[in-house]
Amino acid sequence: MKVLVTNPIADAGLERLRVAGHDVETAYDATDDSLYDAVIDADALIVRSGTEVTADVIESARDLVIVGRAGIGTDNIDIDAATDRGVIVANAPEGNVRAAAEHTVAMTFATARSIPQAHARLRAGEWAKGDFLGTELNGKVLGVVGLGRVGQEVARRLGNLGMDIVAYDPYIAESRADRLGAELVDLDECIPRADVLTVHTPLTPETEDLIGEPELDRMEGGHLVNCARGGVVDEAALAEAVDDGTLEGAAVDVFANEPVSPDNPLLDVENVVITPHLAASTEAAQEHVATSIADQVLAAIEGRPVANALNAPSIDEAAFPRVRPYIDIAETAGRISVQLFDERVAEVEVTYAGEIADEDVDLVTASALKGVFRPLEWQVNAVNAPRIADERGIEVSEIKRRQAEDFQSLVTVAVRSDDGAEMSVCGTLFAGEDPRIVRVDGFRVDAIPGGRMMVTRNADAPGVIGLIGTVMGEHDINIAGMYNAREAHGGEAMTVYNVDQAVPEEARAELEADERIISTRYITLNDE
């Protein structure tokens, strides 16, 4: 079979494909029409960040089985189009973890000791020994924002060098952080405590500009290191914070726009160490990435499971029609539960009751995890969600029961914290495939999930629903649906609203100022 490689990868990966008997064709200069021509008869396509795998490219490749990304980021691949065509998309996320961690450590020392600046001055003929007073890392506090694979490796390395570790990550268990010697804290506490703050989060709508001017102002005298993703740190704010002395220095390997523009403010600040996205650029990392993606291409071609597939659910073909409607229900319940939960998620429990309990529900459970982790990583799906849970030390459990109360089948997703706090959401199907949320945190409701929603908890008292409607109207928010439940007459009530517009903080604050309103929470099932 033909394997087309459009960006250079290590020879070890190419050789592995050739030894397996496949025709490996390289087309490193292929763009536009030449790419369409080259991919027409390809069974597999291997790319890095330099090739845009658009819907048109996928449509041109009539025999394509898999697109393999030799690296982690898949922004350049139209995964939805690939899924529509039944094409597997896989990446190689583990291959460059060590390299990225080591580069982060190197950048930490570089900014703490002003190594590049001193080097440049000496090369220019200046013996500027008295101009550089470095920072010793031993005994200092390292703040890690994002304690995933790379963040954990950085914490291990710098922790072994005598740094105390505090970390912010709402999707990692206390037990996993404890094993790393890291103290889990909120972001508002992590930032001011850190002498060095290192960022290891993906770029998502939730993390874009996560570290901006207000956060940098609270890091007075510290250092910031970003070798993760451009756009997580506000570059203009960082440049100003270093330039005016709020920060001692910074080290940056990634930028919002790459290649970096000559007018990027970070280029003009002396105490900012910059490198051109080199974190994964080691010989070992490139070889690991190449062989990993080659192995996955071989698995896809041979019809075996693909370890890092991003869009390839696996279930018995005969059972899939019975399970398919509950996949969306489980994901929706997961997304709602985590948005209503105020604690760090340590456990996810998925309960199946009724007829669904007799089915193979691994894919449904994975979809529930996908919903829970959706705010964490934009590319999370039913294939990689269980892996994410394992990496972050989150316990996942399934419970099956024959009885489903008043329903033919019922799926419940519960998220729990280490201290036992819990939020659960139950979903089912009405009239075949009509999804409903039928219970939220123990309150019996009959809500149609979708779009934007607001959930209120309030006293069961006259005038409360009218107040909510009035405030929403004053803020030009149209209520499309309302589903009310209560514990008992005169007790606590819950109402789920479907709304056509986002509910601003001002409207929620106005509602919560009324003593009858216990809490409000705006949630969305859209990717906004």
Catalytic residues: 229, 258, 277
| Cβ atoms 330, 350 nearer than 8 A | yes
- How far apart CA 361 and CA 341 sit, in angstroms, is 24
| Cβ atoms 220, 195 nearer than 8 A | no
SS3 state at 71:
coil
Report which of 331, 363, 390, 344 is spatially closest to residue 94, judged by C-alpha positions: 390
Peptide bond just before 93 cis, omega within 30 deg: no
**129 burial type by CB count under 10 A (0-12 exposed, 13-18 middle, 19+ buried):** exposed
Provide the angle, in degrees to the nearest 10, between the axes of the packed helices 362-373 and 320-339: 30
- How far apart CA 468 and CA 503 sit, in angstroms, is 12
Which residue's structure tokens are 């008043």? 406
Report which of 347, 161, 135, 335 is spatially closest to residue 250, judged by C-alpha positions: 135
Q: Cα–chain-centroid distance for residue 258?
A: 21
Take residue 151 and report the two structure tokens written for it. Answer: 């963040």
| Cβ atoms 372, 335 nearer than 8 A | yes
Report which of 396, 344, 395 is spatially closest to residue 367, judged by C-alpha positions: 396
Provide the angle, in degrees to the nearest 10, between the axes of the packed helices 505-512 and 464-474: 150
Report which of 354, 376, 356 is spatially closest to residue 365, judged by C-alpha positions: 356
CA-to-CA separations, 408 to 7, 293, 333, 368, 432, in angstroms, rounded? 52, 43, 17, 19, 10
Alpha helices (H) in 124-169, listed in sequence order: 149-160
Query: Residue 144: phi, psi to the nearest 5?
Result: -110, 115
- How far apart CA 197 and CA 226 sit, in angstroms, is 8
**490 burial type by CB count under 10 A (0-12 exposed, 13-18 middle, 19+ buried):** exposed
| Cβ atoms 193, 216 nearer than 8 A | no
What is the side-by-side strand order in the sheet with 23-26?
23-26, 2-5, 44-47, 66-69, 88-91
Q: Cα–chain-centroid distance for residue 455?
A: 24
| Cβ atoms 225, 198 nearer than 8 A | yes
**Strand positions, DSSP E, 1-62:** 2-5, 23-26, 44-47
